[in-house]
Amino acid sequence: MDLIERLIIRSRRRSPWLYHVNTGACNGCDIELVACLTPRYDVEQLGIRLEGSPRHADILVISGPVTYNSLEALQTVYAQVLEPKVVVAIGSCPASGNVFAGSPLIAGPLERYVPVDVYVPGCPPRPDAIISGIARAIDLLAAQPVRRLKEVAE
């Protein structure tokens, strides 16, 4: 492993950027995710930050049941996150639909449309559980092989 590969692996561990997508949630999970950024939990000191564009993100964080109204936007955002990427589903809604299951507006569980790497259970999950899930995602991200620019161009 050369110097560039070691630098890429280290930067994946030290400064993962998140992009958050709400696919129809009640905002309970969103509030807990934002709480992770407050001075009490302060994940930004670890290099973790919310990014404004999916093209700059390493980890896609999704909350809420997948509604038919948000399905196309979700798939567009997922395609915009560059490889390697990891998907974290926050709360019970992405996994099962929770209280919204069976609604004619719900398209179904998230994994039907986007591959999910880490689930953070709860309704809503506590910020420390969300941070733990993001830490697992960081480990998965760092374990993915490094692709060279030459490989990407081919």
User: What is the C-alpha separation between 7 and 87, in angstroms, rounded?
Assistant: 23
- This prediction's pTM: 0.85
Q: What is the CATH number of domain 13-144?
A: 3.40.50.12280
User: What is the C-alpha separation between 48 and 50, in angstroms, rounded?
Assistant: 7
Q: Which residues pair with 63 in a beta bridge?
A: 22, 90
User: What is the C-alpha separation between 55 and 53, in angstroms, rounded?
Assistant: 5
**pLDDT for 32-86, tens place per residue?**
999 998 888 888 887 888 889 999 898 999 998 999 999 999 999 999 998 889 9
